[in-house]
Structure 1
Amino acid sequence: MFSFEKIRFSGDFFYEDYFNVRFLDLNAGNHLSNDKFLSYLTEVDESFFRSKNKTLSNIDGCSLFVARSLIEFKKEILYPERVHIRIGLMDIKKKSVIFYYEMQRSDGVIACKAVKEMAFVRNDTNKVINPNDVSYIFNS
């Protein structure tokens, strides 16, 4: 039996950024489309790695691939809005890393919580590496 659990995080955030909601990101209900939430989380990942002079496709010779994601929608985000997204390190496993995300509206209300489990894959061998090999990135 499968069940969705509430997303809980008690750790520290290691990165944050702000994004302006674009008109093109709205759905027919005139609020941020659900699929755009995941796009924004990917944008904040790229922003974080760029701040470390890396990219999602070149992190010490690896690319970062999403294995699983879960988004808990809390409140609507309307246009125009400036969202604040924070990333925390939830867990490092043998072959994956789990990031926690919190997206807030400009009034401070949490609009969504999310987790993404991701794997670092070597670009030259296409093999998954132990995330501890690159975990220094999250601590610097």
Structure 2
Amino acid sequence: MTRVKIELPATFDFSTDLRLRFRDINAGNHLAHDAVLSLAEEARFLFLEHLGYPHLNIDGCGYVAADAAIVYKSQAFFGEVIRVEVAVRNFASKSCDFLYRLSNRETGQEVARAKTGVVFFDYGNQKPVRVPDGFRARFERGG
């Protein structure tokens, strides 16, 4: 079976701490896969807000989810505080990836990696649009 691999950058652009709630836990009594995406989405919104972008408005553009992936590294449990680090990478003409590392804040143990690909979108015209130049310039690394 081919396994999903998520390569993380050496540095991240933002981090936040989020406490695991009861609803984040599955029947196996550990962090559920859907909760990983929910935590990543929460961190992405906090990150964009930190940069001054209101909800679904990055330099006048909206965005839609194109894909998502999760790779577990260890278990996490109810009540633990998870540090979620966020990086923006892999720009194309109309899209980019948000990469996430989730770790136990107390022990530093990596819990999961996640990636969400987004396509920039004009909701009025219902069409993809180019990545805003100002947003791209914030994150692109030389070359």
TM tier, smaller:
0.7 to 0.9
Secondary structure of the corresponding residue to residue 38 of structure 2? helix
Map of 2:97 onto structure 1: 98
Map of 2:112 onto structure 1: 112
Paired AA for residue 70 in structure 2: I
1:127: Cα distance to partner?
Answer: 2.2
Map of 1:46 onto structure 2: 45
Paired AA for residue 51 in structure 1: H
Cα distance change on mapping 1:123 and 1:11 into 2, 3 Å = farther
Secondary structure of the corresponding residue to residue 127 of structure 2? coil
TM-score using structure 2 length: 0.85
CA contact (8 A) 2:68 2:116 kept: yes
1:57: Cα distance to partner?
Answer: 1.7
Map of 2:131 onto structure 1: 131
Per-residue CA deviations over 1:28-86 (Å, capped at 9, x if unaligned) read 22212111100111101100111122234222222221101111011111111000011
Map of 2:29 onto structure 1: 30
Q: Provide the rounded CA distance (Å) in 2 between the counterparts of 1:137 and 1:48.
A: 13
Secondary structure of the corresponding residue to residue 112 of structure 1? strand
Q: Provide the rounded CA distance (Å) in 1 between the counterparts of 2:124 and 2:91.
A: 23
Q: Which moved more, 1:8-17 or 1:69-78?
A: 8-17
Structure 2: gaps of 5 or more residues:
none
Q: Provide the rounded CA distance (Å) in 2 between the counterparts of 1:56 and 1:138.
A: 19
CA contact (8 A) 1:61 1:124 kept: no
CA contact (8 A) 1:95 1:131 kept: yes
TM-score using structure 1 length: 0.87
* CA-atom RMSD in angstroms: 2.0
Map of 1:122 onto structure 2: 122
1:89: Cα distance to partner?
Answer: 2.3
Map of 1:21 onto structure 2: 20
Map of 2:64 onto structure 1: 65
CA contact (8 A) 1:71 1:115 kept: yes
Secondary structure of the corresponding residue to residue 77 of structure 1? coil
Secondary structure of the corresponding residue to residue 23 of structure 2? helix
What is the aligned residue count?
138
Structure 1: gaps of 5 or more residues:
none
